[in-house]
């Protein structure tokens, strides 16, 4: 069997990608695998280098500042690297795509996708708009899903309430969000655009888009 189609999730920072993704990975454990990107940005409280989330020691400190639910929903996995190491790896061809976002480099390594595909899981990539455009030039052939906020105002409120950004990085994310929202409306870059207003509804739509691929993987695992 040819492996399952990967899924690209994109959309403005704060639109709810990580929140939706975590639900999906939890509900369909053993069906999806997350492509762990590399980044030069600093880890947030609750985020641990490379290997899933290891909450405790960091979280105990963080909870004095942040509501627990917010820490959990905004944390995601990355390999945290220096700019120098990242640039070196990019130059030696280790990345499928990479982009500069809000003053940091982010990238999908070939190994991160191969690791997931080797297990015959649906590989999920959470990448920005530049990443989407660059993935289009590859033979990965994913399903492209854009997650969008209901409005700029709501996006700004969610990002502020998340309490992960400095004012400067928040402004950079809002600027990138304006561009992202315009492009995703106009072009045929995405197979589907989901507005994340009510979380349950958005999650239901996301599952609906992916159900065919989910069924294929589950059927293959049964046989
Ligand atoms: N092109 C590209 N973008 C990425 C990658 N990993 C994460 N991003 C994007 O980088 C942006 C910032 O991510 P992050 O720092 O985790 O902040 P957040 O989106 O505010 O939670 C988001 O739009 C992500 O989708 C990657 O490997 N490649
Ligand atoms: N439908 C929703 N309604 C209200 N708040 C939401 C919703 N979806 C996500 N959030 C909150 O908005 C913030 C940004 O979501 P997050 O998943 O971190 O976004 P992204 O991964 O796209 O940057 C988080 O604090 C999250 O709890």
**Which residue, judged by its Cα, is nearest atom 24 of ligand 1?**
127
CATH code for 7-214?
3.40.50.300
CA distance linking residue 48 with residue 144, whole number of Å: 27
CA distance linking residue 40 with residue 44, whole number of Å: 12
- Going by their DSSP bridges, the two strands 78-80 and 95-101 should be labelled as unpaired
Ligand 1: atom nearest CA of 132 is 1
Indicate if the pLDDT at residue 51 is higher than 60. Answer: no
Ligand 1: atom nearest CA of 14 is 20
Give the model's pLDDT for residue 75.
67
Indicate if the pLDDT at residue 18 is higher than 70. Answer: yes
Joined together, the tokens standing for residue 197 give 């207003």
ipTM of the complex: 0.98
CB atoms < 10 A from the CB of 72, how many?
A: 16
- Work out the average pLDDT over 3-12: 96
Distance of CA 55 to CAs 42, 68, 123, 162, 167, Å?
16, 10, 24, 17, 25
Q: Is 199 in the pocket of ligand 2 (CB under 6 A)?
A: yes
Top-confidence residue, 67 or 176: 176
Q: Best substitution site from 14, 145, 195 to test ligand 2's pocket, by max atoms within 8 Å of Cβ?
A: 14
Give the model's pLDDT for residue 60.
36
162 catalytic residue (yes or no): yes
Render pLDDT for 82-118 as a digit per residue (tens, 0 to 9): 999 999 999 999 999 999 999 999 999 999 999 999 9
Spot the catalytic one: 76, 83, 160, 162.
162
* Residue ranges per structural domain of the chain: 7-214
Give the model's pLDDT for residue 71.
42
Indicate if the pLDDT at residue 208 is higher than 80. Answer: yes
What's the length of the chain? 223
Give the model's pLDDT for residue 188.
87
**Which residue, judged by its Cα, is nearest atom 16 of ligand 2?**
16
Give the model's pLDDT for residue 68.
42
173 catalytic residue (yes or no): yes
- Work out the average pLDDT over 43-68: 49
41 catalytic residue (yes or no): no
Which of 35, 186, 146, 187 has the alpha carbon at shortest distance from 97?
A: 35
**Which residue, judged by its Cα, is nearest atom 2 of ligand 1?**
127
Q: Please report which helix (H) or strand (E) contains residue 47, including its range.
A: none
Which of 115, 135, 107 has the alpha carbon at shortest distance from 34?
A: 115
Q: Are 183 and 189 in contact (CB under 8 A)?
A: yes
Residue found by looking up tokens 């191969």 in the block = 114
Give the model's pLDDT for residue 187.
73
**How does residue 54 score in pLDDT terms, banded at 50, 70 and 90?**
very low
């Amino acid at each position: 069997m040819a492996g399952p189609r990967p899924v690209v999730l994109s959309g403005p920072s704060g639109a709810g990608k990580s929140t939706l993704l975590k639900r999906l990975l939890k509900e369909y454990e053993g069906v999806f695998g997350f492509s762990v990107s590399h980044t030069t940005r600093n880890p947030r409280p609750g985020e641990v280098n490379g290997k899933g989330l290891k909450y405790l020691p960091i979280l105990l400190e963080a909870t004095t500042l942040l509501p627990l639910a917010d820490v959990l929903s905004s944390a995601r996995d990355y390999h945290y690297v220096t700019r120098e190491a990242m640039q070196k790896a990019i130059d030696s061809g280790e990345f499928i795509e990479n982009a500069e976002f809000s003053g940091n480099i982010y990238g999908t390594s070939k190994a991160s996708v191969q690791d997931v595909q080797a297990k015959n899981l649906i590989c999920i990539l959470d990448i920005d708009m530049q990443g989407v455009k660059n993935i289009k030039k590859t033979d990965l052939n994913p399903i492209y899903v854009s997650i969008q906020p209901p409005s700029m105002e709501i996006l700004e409120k969610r990002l502020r309430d998340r309490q992960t950004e400095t004012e400067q990085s928040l402004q950079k994310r809002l600027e990138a969000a304006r561009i992202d929202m315009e492009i995703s409306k106009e072009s045929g870059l995405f197979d589907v655009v989901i507005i994340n207003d009510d979380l349950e509804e958005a999650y239901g739509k996301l599952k609906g888009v992916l159900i065919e691929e989910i069924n294929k993987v589950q059927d293959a695992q049964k046989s």
